[in-house]
Amino acid sequence: MPVLASGNPVPRYARLAQLLRQRIDKGVWKPGEQLPRLEDLMQEFDVARVTVRQAVGLLAQDGWVSVSRGRGGTIVQSRPAQDKTLLLETSLADMADAYRTDKPTLTLIDEQIAEPPALPADCGPPVPVYRHLRRVHSRDGQPYCVISIYLDESVFKKAARRFRRETIIPVLLEVQGVRIARAHQTLRISVADVETSRLLGVPLNSGVGEVVRVFHDTKGQVMYIAEITYRAEYLRFQMALKV
């Protein structure tokens, strides 16, 4: 069966763009090199000329390639070096340090008092009131994650200005009178829905990583919940192996 067989609701050119982007990201085609000829891509992926042109157009729009009308062909572009490593096993202090050195642009989508998502019964009781902050984090003009945060309202009021303007975890560790007694996070691979696709600028149903992070206070209550959806290319898994 062809790699880009019909029956998928995502347009074929968008799926092809994702495949080409993955190859560039893995170093199959390096900066300064040409992509294969249009005809070669048509044959490899069994698609029409217009499909390849549309896919390459998406890559050019996002800065992955430059398209020359002359003999230069389609050239892979150098991209800024970025630390895209997501450590799944780390300390809160290390996580906070990572956020302190990485200063993303925070775009607030929504803020209100709201109920958090349902959590397993063994996760712990909720606090009475949560402040909900939903925003997009961007770097160099490119959105890389959508994050939905539920924070204990009594904690939020201790540093409301900072919580609105900065990444949450470093602030939590610095606010007086706040102590995180227990923390855990989970990760699963999923696909972008319509809204996530729009906010992150990725094709509908393209791969994303979903992280759920939960912090408990000294009473065992859930003081912080974060649901984070990352663009796939920002995920690199590094896990310590015990020997």
Express each pLDDT in 49-60 by its tens digit.
Answer: 999 999 898 888
pLDDT band at 62 (very low <50, low <70, confident <90, very high): confident
Dump pLDDT digits (tens) for 113-159: 999 988 777 788 999 999 999 999 998 788 989 999 999 999 999 99
b or e along 17-33 (b: 16 or more beta carbons within 10 Å of the residue's beta carbon)? bbebbeebeeeebeeee
Q: Are strands 65-67 and 207-216 parallel, antiparallel or unpaired?
A: unpaired
Residue 186: per-residue pLDDT: 87
Which CATH number among 3.40.1410.10, 2.60.120.620, 3.40.1050.10, 3.30.1050.10 corresponds to the domain 85-238? 3.40.1410.10
Model confidence at 1: pLDDT above 50:
no
Residue at token pair 């202090």: 93
User: How far is Cα 217 from Cα 194, in angstroms, rounded to an integer?
Assistant: 35
Considering the domain 12-76, what is its CATH architecture? Orthogonal Bundle (1.10)
Q: What's the rounded mean pLDDT across residues 9-38? A: 84
Residue 192: per-residue pLDDT: 87
- As given in the structure block, the two tokens for residue 188 are 């699963």
Model confidence at 177: pLDDT above 50:
yes
Spans of all domains in the chain: 12-76, 85-238
Whole-number Cα distances in Å, 90 to 93, 157, 211, 224, 237: 8, 28, 14, 18, 12
pTM to 2 decimals?
Answer: 0.70
Q: How big is the CA angle at 158 (ends 125 and 180), to the nearest 5 degrees?
A: 45
Q: Which of 6, 229, 224 is nearest to 126 (CA)?
A: 224
Q: What's the rounded mean pLDDT across residues 5-28? A: 78
Dump pLDDT digits (tens) for 202-227: 877 778 899 999 999 999 999 999 99
